[in-house]
Structure 1
Amino acid sequence: MTSSASKSPGAALAGLLSFVLVVGGASGLLHEWLGWIHFMGFVRFAVPDGYEVFGYVVMVAVGLAVGAAGDALTGRGRRR
């Protein structure tokens, strides 16, 4: 059995959410600091006006926490 087959739906959803938050937050930070285009522009609607940098940093931190939680869910299924 492969490792992807043993992944629970909750862990897969956490991985997807983690990816969107981390990449979206990093893309927003790059846009704010360097003026690059938004790679994932829809995340700008999740951040209030005037708090863009803080909001994107929080988005990256929450994404990392969700990813760690999803990894813990996957690790729990492998233990015997």
Structure 2
Amino acid sequence: MKQLLEIVGFLALVQGVLGLLNEFTDLHWGLVQKLGLLDGYEIYASVALLVLSFALFAAAEGRKPG
């Protein structure tokens, strides 16, 4: 379970960073900008993914291995 939390946290971290890079540098990577539901809220969604990733990493640290 710890590894699953870390993997999901890493994916959320990557998508959050890619979403912010897309907004500030016009790179067209990541999933945040491809979701039509989030039009106009891409920065908020990217920041939320970053916060979620840190929460998942913290939850993974609190769990026992295995």
Could you say which TM-score interval applies, normalised by the shorter chain? Answer: 0.7 to 0.9
Distance in 2, matches of 1:63 and 1:47, equals: 21
1:1-80 equivalence runs, <5 A: 10-38=1-29, 41-44=30-33, 45=35, 48-74=38-64
Distance in 1, matches of 2:36 and 2:62, equals: 26
The superposition leaves residues 6-58 of structure 1 with CA deviations (integer Å, 9 ceiling, x where unpaired) of xxxx10100000000011100110011111231xx234439611100011001
TM-score (structure 1 length as normaliser): 0.70
Distance in 2, matches of 1:11 and 1:36, equals: 32
Whichever of the two has the greater Rg, that structure is: 1
Distance in 2, matches of 1:47 and 1:22, equals: 20
Distance in 1, matches of 2:56 and 2:48, equals: 12
TM-score (structure 2 length as normaliser): 0.83
Give the RMSD, CA atoms, in angstroms. 1.9
Q: How many residues align?
A: 64
